[in-house]
Amino acid sequence: MNYFRKIFKWLKLAGKKPRTSPTLPSESEFEFWYNFMIEELNEARTAFEKKDLNKLIDAIIDLHWVHANLVFFTG
């Protein structure tokens, strides 16, 4: 199972429906994604400033997952 399939499966379990063709996400989906990206970027910045490699890696992985959410929402 590839990376995006795992994320799509997780989102489906959360009750989200995948798009079958390219489309703009709803305003609430976009706001969720945007705010989550900002949160993870801030965590990455803080981890970097504190020289905390483990927390930086965690933030990077979370950023990948959040990015995949927008892929899911846009089809």
9-67 confidence digits (pLDDT tens): 877 887 877 777 898 988 988 898 899 999 999 999 999 999 999 999 999 999 988 88
Return the HEC string of the chain: CCHHHHHHHHHHHCCCCCCCCCCCCCHHHHHHHHHHHHHHHHHHHHHHHCCCHHHHHHHHHHHHHHHHHHHHHHC
Report d(CA 21, CA 58) in Å as an integer: 31
Q: What is the pTM of this model?
A: 0.75
> Higher model confidence: residue 73 or residue 65?
65
CA gyration radius, the chain: 14
pLDDT bucket at 4, cuts 50 / 70 / 90 = confident
